[in-house]
Amino acid sequence: MGRWYRWAVVALLSGAYFFHQADRAIFGVLLPYVQADLSLTDRQLGHINTVLFLTIAVVTFVAGFLGDRFSRKWIITGSLVFWSIATMGLGFASSFTAVILLRSVATGGGESFYGPSAMSLLASHHRETRSLAFSIHQAALYAGLMLSGVLALKALGLVGSWHGVFVVFGAAGLLLGIAFIWLLKDGDAGPSGRRAEGAGSLLDGFKAFFGCPSALLATTGFIAICCVNNTYITWAPKMFHERFGLDGATAGAHAMFYHHLVAFAAILLGGWVTDRLVVRYPRFRLGFQIVALLLGAPALLLVGRCGTFAAAMAMTAAYGLFRGLFEVNTHASVFDVVPARHRASVVGFMLLLAMGLGALFSGELMGWVFSSFGDRAYSIAFSLMAATYALAALMMSVSFFFTFRRDRIGE
């Protein structure tokens, strides 16, 4: 493979990650229309999130195991094609059951196979430039979330209904998936499709993750990020719609665009800075994440308490800034303390924990909050999100001061 192919991998996977997040985010953007058309209750919306994240948690565990053993190209390509077809199918949903099956089970299950293999493939191509490569890839997530509202609004105007929007987004992802058959390469796969490097047993991967205190402590931050981000994506458009009187698509566009625009800029800058400082200060990644969580907590607290639209937008932008600075090193900080041969399995374990707890947090807990506390629900919800950030920062600090030096693995 050519010298520049490692950046071609970043570009290709960034395109896939764009649709990975856009296909998920447009559900929140179109939620007012879906809820009204299908007569869904807030508790049912909570159940949709619960099943989605439980599906991701369970399937990602399997995906991580397979990603360390088989061709990552075909796992990634198959994942993209499958979730895109499921997204198209969601455009034909006509009941709560259909939404559960197509969004929570099919789309969630398809997306689950992407992360472990994608992060492992990126890490294998980048070492000195790992934070920058991860940050560009993560920026694609923000682009998907940021533009989902704007694009959904434009598509809604063109096709006339929320049904058609899902079909359009899914079809675009499907075309990219077909292109991956020829464009994406997996240099570690042999003729049989199996990986050339030895990954060991599932028990070895389990020990590498759960037997490493620093990996577990770093994962608490990832859990907090997932719980909060998934809550924001689902419920923030609804908040702007109900609190400030915006129509559904406009509320979704505002909730997604400015927050993710700031996060997009922060993660690109943070990746560049991290790659230069982590060589001299190995704990820089970890400390950078801790500070981002501590500064992001008050921003989250204020989002739910702002009385004006302008103030709420400013706080969502501040939350986006610190979210972006954290996510520069979401996986890189864990990869610092686990062997390379277990990376896909470790990402699977991380997502198993994050999405499992995220299902309870953003699905059941938030569904109960929004159906029980009326006008106070938003301030309560964002207070819980802020507390989650603060608790994760405390847990990661234990690694920073006590365990990271001992657990760090050199490459």
Given this model, what pLDDT does residue 61 score?
Answer: 82
Given this model, what pLDDT does residue 411 score?
Answer: 60
Q: Compute the radius of gyration of the chain from its Cα atoms.
A: 20
Higher pLDDT, 199 or 370: 370
* Tokens read off for 95: 């009941």
Distances (CA, A) of 187 to 64, 121, 148, 371: 18, 9, 33, 51
Quote the percentage of the chain above a pLDDT of 70: 95
Distances (CA, A) of 368 to 47, 90, 313, 376: 10, 25, 25, 12
* Tokens read off for 345: 């399995």
Q: How confident is the model at residue 192 (pLDDT cuts 50, 70, 90)?
A: very low
248-277 helix and 284-303 helix, angle to the nearest 10 degrees: 160
Query: Residue 410 has what DSSP assignment?
Result: -
**CA end-to-end span of the chain:** 22
Give the count of beta carbons closer than 10 Å to the beta carbon of residue 247. Answer: 12
Note whether 165 and 30 are within 8 A (CB). yes
Q: Which positions ≥6 away from 391 have C-beta within 8 Å?
A: 220, 224
Residue type, 314: A
Q: Is the pLDDT of residue 205 over 90?
A: no
What pLDDT digit, counting tens, does each position of 126-143 carry?
Answer: 877 888 888 899 889 888
State the sign of the Cα–Cα–Cα–Cα dihedral 347, 326, 137, 232: positive
Question: Which of 13, 110, 92 lies closest to 52, judged by CA?
Answer: 110
Q: What is the mean pLDDT of residues 313-337?
A: 93
Q: What is the mean pLDDT of residues 337-355?
A: 88
- Distance separating alpha carbons of residues 188 and 117, to the nearest angstrom: 12
Higher pLDDT, 232 or 186: 232
Mean pLDDT of the chain: 88
Note whether 330 and 222 are within 8 A (CB). yes
Give the count of beta carbons closer than 10 Å to the beta carbon of residue 267. Answer: 31
- Distance separating alpha carbons of residues 2 and 22, to the nearest angstrom: 31
Question: Which of 347, 264, 332 lies closest to 57, judged by CA?
Answer: 347
Given this model, what pLDDT does residue 246 score?
Answer: 82
- Distance separating alpha carbons of residues 315 and 303, to the nearest angstrom: 5
Question: Which of 174, 198, 196 lies closest to 186, judged by CA?
Answer: 196
Distances (CA, A) of 366 to 23, 48, 51, 362: 22, 12, 14, 5
Given this model, what pLDDT does residue 193 score?
Answer: 45
Distances (CA, A) of 242 to 38, 125, 325: 19, 46, 30
Find where tokens 């964002």 sit.
382
- Distance separating alpha carbons of residues 319 and 314, to the nearest angstrom: 9
Q: What is the mean pLDDT of residues 15-32?
A: 88
Given this model, what pLDDT does residue 249 score?
Answer: 67
222-234 in b/e form (b: 16+ CB < 10 A) is: bbbbbbbbbbbbb
Query: Residue 19 has what DSSP assignment?
Result: H
399 by DSSP, 3-state: which? helix
Q: φ and ψ at 212, to 5 degrees? A: -115, 105
Q: Is the pLDDT of residue 191 over 60?
A: no
- Distance separating alpha carbons of residues 243 and 234, to the nearest angstrom: 15
Residue type, 395: M
Higher pLDDT, 292 or 261: 292
Given this model, what pLDDT does residue 199 score?
Answer: 54
Q: Is the pLDDT of residue 188 over 60?
A: no
Given this model, what pLDDT does residue 227 score?
Answer: 92
